[in-house]
Amino acid sequence: MSVRKLKPITPGQRFKVVNGFDAITTDKPEKSLLAPLKRTGGRNSQGKMTTRHRGGGHKRRYRIIDFKREKHDVKAEVKSIQYDPNRSAFIALVEYKDGEKRYIIAQNGLQVGQEVVSGNKVAPEIGNAMPLSDIPLGTIISCIELRPGQGAVLARSAGTFAQLMAREGKYATIKLPSGETRMILVKCLATIGAVSNSDHQLVVSGKAGRSRWLGRRPRTRPVAMNPVDHPMGGGEGRASGGHPRSKNGIPAKGYRTRSRTKDSNRYIIERRKK
């Protein structure tokens, strides 16, 4: 994987850094695994705007991803590595021995023609999904379940990975991408390897229009608003705006919003870094 800095022949290309897409092998998605995706534009069922700065953007179709990997002990061959407009990671089209095709999140180093499998006693190789009880300690993992059978919910975005630190009884200790260390049931599945497209964080859009293509509308700075519009608005001249907070008055930048009485707090060994 690599990124490319363009030779600027337009103002929008002056600072633009684009993904090289070296790992992508095809630009044609599998039709049977596509679903329509409706845009809300930040509106709820009453048509009222509940999320600001959303709207427009390029039309997308959803790629149905197999996060559960519940087809155990059946080998699947990687047919292609593809771009997915709905996520930062690349996805892999795999075909099982019985002819069924599915999309999975592609791991770094996953190659076309490679075989992947999920199950209890499989080899800890890149792309294979297995329970935390069978993964060797210190292994780099991603696409981790939080509850058995739920499907992957942790470490799914581009370049992210977690590390299996320890196992004791029915719990495994995982160091997550955020820096948080927490316990997860050893029955939960995880995939070996880090998520693909690790260069995603190096991409520079170069112009405001690319944000519009992604469905993001312009955002007004709260300090530039009036007091009636935002808690940080108003003041004479260029006032700093006071303590940073949201439009609803909830403090930002360091204020912890997680409930102190949340039931899952007991599974967190070390909180994420501020």
Closest CA to 198 of 155, 233, 239: 155
The verdict on 248 and 169 lying in the same domain is no
The verdict on 119 and 60 lying in the same domain is yes
The verdict on 183 and 237 lying in the same domain is no
CA atoms within 13 A on the CB side of 90: 31
The verdict on 67 and 34 lying in the same domain is yes
The verdict on 140 and 37 lying in the same domain is yes
The verdict on 74 and 126 lying in the same domain is yes
The verdict on 231 and 180 lying in the same domain is no
Closest CA to 87 of 112, 62, 58: 62
Structural domain includes residue 218:
no
Q: What is the pTM of this model?
A: 0.91
Structural domain includes residue 207:
no
pLDDT of 270: 94
Q: What is the DSSP string of 47-99?
A: S-B-SSSB------EEE-B--S---BT--EEEEEEE--TTSSS-EEEEEETTS
User: Tokens 């048509």, residue?
Assistant: 47
Structural domain includes residue 263:
yes
The verdict on 248 and 172 lying in the same domain is no
The verdict on 117 and 68 lying in the same domain is yes
Structural domain includes residue 116:
yes
Structural domain includes residue 217:
no
Domain with 274 in it: 224-274
The verdict on 103 and 186 lying in the same domain is yes
The number of folded domains in the chain is 2
| CATH code, domain carrying 236 | 4.10.950.10
Structural domain includes residue 215:
no
Structural domain includes residue 190:
yes
Which of 201, 232, 262 corresponds to the end of one domain? 201
The verdict on 140 and 92 lying in the same domain is yes
| CATH code, domain carrying 38 | 2.40.50.140
The verdict on 53 and 171 lying in the same domain is yes
Q: What is the pLDDT along the chain (274 residues), one digit of tens a residue?
A: 689 999 999 999 999 999 999 999 999 999 999 999 999 999 999 999 999 999 999 999 999 999 999 999 999 999 999 999 999 999 999 999 999 999 999 999 999 999 999 999 899 999 999 999 999 999 999 999 999 999 999 999 999 999 999 999 999 999 999 999 999 999 999 999 999 999 999 999 999 999 999 999 999 999 999 999 999 999 998 888 889 999 999 999 989 889 999 999 999 999 987 6
| Sequence-distant (≥ 6) Cβ neighbours of residue 176 within 8 angstroms | 154, 155, 162, 182, 272
CB 271 within 8 A of CB 180: yes
Structural domain includes residue 212:
no
Position 82, amino acid = Q
